[in-house]
A and B are shown apart, each in its own frame.
Chain A
Amino acid sequence: MIQRIYILLQKDLRLEFRSKTGLSSLLMYALGSVFIIYMSVGEPEQGFIWNALFWITLLYSCVNSVMRAFYYETSSLRLYYYQIAHPQEVIFAKQLYGYVLNTILLAVSFGAFALVLGNFVQNMPLFVLVSLLSTWGIGAMLTLISAISSQTNNAAGILPVLAFPVLLPLFLSAIKAASAAIDGEAFAQQWANIAVLGLFNILAWLFSYLLFPYLWRS
C-alpha cells in the first residue's frame, strides 16, 4: 500500500515539475500578492497586520494549489486508477502531494514576507510549527473537499463554498497561535490551538479513509 501511494505521489510530483506551469503559476500568485502588499502597505508597523496579510496570502495560494488536485483528472484516468489502486491510496497520495505543494508555498511566501515586509516573528519554532500544521491541515481538508466538489457540475465554483466554512475554525486557531508567536509567547500557552490544528489534520485523513471510497465509485 505504501509503495503504491509513493508511486502515485511520485507521478503527481513528476507531472508538476515536468510541466512547471502549475508550480510557477502558484509561486507567481504568492509573490504577486506580496508585491501588491508591499506597494500598498509598505512595511507594516505592527505584527498583527503582518499576520493578517500573511494568512490571507497563504489561504488563497493554498486554495489555488489544492483546487487542482482533482480538477485535471478525466473520468477515463480515474477508471485507470480504479483498476490499479485502492481509493484510499489515491486520496492519500493526493493529500501528500498537497502537503508537499503547500510546504513549498509556505516556505516561499514566508521568505518573501520576511524579505520584503520584514520579519516580525519572535518565537520562530512556534510559528514554524503552527504554520506547517495549518497549511498541512488546509491541504488535507481541501483535497477531500476538492474530491467532493469534482462530483458537481461546477467544481471550481462550488469548492470555495464548501471549503471556507470548514477552514474557518482552522484559521481562527492558526491566526491566534501565529499572532502569539509573533508576540513572542511561549509554547505552553498555545497548546489548545496547536491541538486544534493537529485535530484537523487527523480528521482530514480519517474522513478521506472512510468516505472517499464512496465518492470514488460513482
Chain B
Amino acid sequence: MKAILKHGYKVLAVLIMLYVIPMAWTGEVSVQVILHETIRNLYWHVVMWFAMILMFGISVYYSASHLAEPSERKDIYALEFANVGMMFGIAGIVTGMIWAQFTWGAPWTNDTKLNGSAASLLIYAAYFILRNSVQDRVKREKTAAVYNIFAFVMLLILVGIMPRLKDSLHPGNGGNPGFGNYDDLKGSMAVVFRPAVLAWILIGIWIANIRIRIKTLQLKKEQW
C-alpha cells in the first residue's frame, strides 16, 4: 500500500503523458483565424503556468510554516519547489515566445502579461541570489522564507491582478475572446487539457521530490 502511494503518482503521470502527447499533436482542435493549428500550444504553454503557480504555492506554504515553526526540512522543501516552479516559469515563457512568434509576429511584445511574468521570474531569481548571500544558516532560512512570501504575493499581483486592470494581447483580455468561448474547446480539447495539467503538476512534484532527497543527503554528508 505504501509503495503504491509512493510510486503510484509517478506511474499516473507517465500514463497521462503517454495519452496527452499524441492527443496534443493529432487530436481534434478548434481551428480559429490567426491561431490555426497553433492552438495546440494551449496544451503546453497554459499548462506550464498552472503548474508554476502550484509549485510556487507549495513553496510558499512551506516558507510560511517555516516562519511559524522553523525546521531545516521545510526550508529545503520551499527551496526545491521554488526551483521547480522556476523551471515551469521559464518553460512557460519559452513556449509563449514560440506561440507569439507565429500569432503576433514577434517573440516578445510590450504586453502586460509578458512584462508581469518576466518581472515575477526576476523576483524569484532574486530569491535564489538572496539565499546565497546570507552565510548564517538560521538567518538565511528566515530571510528566504520572508522573501518567498513577498515574492509569491507579488507573483499573484503581477500575473493575476495587473493584466485585469489593463489591456493585453492574450485571449480573454482587452476585448479579445477567451478560449472558453470556443464551444468545441469544452469537449474535445478539455479532455486533453485537464489531464495535461494534472500530469505536469505530478511531474513537478516528482522532480521536486528527487531534488529534495538529493539535497537532504548532501546536507547529511556535510553534517557527518
Interface residues of A (CB under 8 A from B): 144, 148-149, 151-154, 157-158, 161-162, 164-166, 168-169, 172, 192, 195-196, 199, 203, 207, 210-211, 214-215, 218
New contact pairs (8) apart from A152-B134, A164-B122, A168-B122, CB-CB < 8 Å = A148-B130, A151-B134, A152-B143, A166-B119, A166-B123, A168-B115, A199-B157, A214-B142
Contact with A196, one of B67, B139, B150, B162 (Cβ below 8 angstroms): B162
Interface string of B106-123 (1 = CB under 8 A from A): 000000000110011011
B135/A165 in contact, CB under 8 A: no
Interface string of B38-58 (1 = CB under 8 A from A): 000000000000000000000
Contacts of A207 in B (CB 8 A): 150, 153
Instruction: Please report the C-alpha to C-alpha distance between residue A172 and residue B162 in the assembled complex, in whole angstroms.
Output: 11
Contacts of B214 in A (CB 8 A): none
Interface residues of B (CB under 8 A from A): 67, 115-116, 119-120, 122-123, 125-126, 129-130, 133-135, 138-139, 142-143, 145-147, 149-150, 153-154, 157-158, 161-162, 165-166
Contact with A148, one of B119, B135, B147, B154 (Cβ below 8 angstroms): B147
> What are 14 of the A-B contact pairs (CB < 8 Å)?
A148-B147, A152-B133, A152-B134, A153-B133, A153-B135, A161-B129, A165-B119, A165-B120, A165-B125, A195-B165, A196-B165, A199-B161, A203-B153, A214-B142
Contacts of B122 in A (CB 8 A): 164-165, 168
Contacts of B138 in A (CB 8 A): 218
A151/B139 in contact, CB under 8 A: yes
Contact with A218, one of B120, B125, B142, B166 (Cβ below 8 angstroms): B142
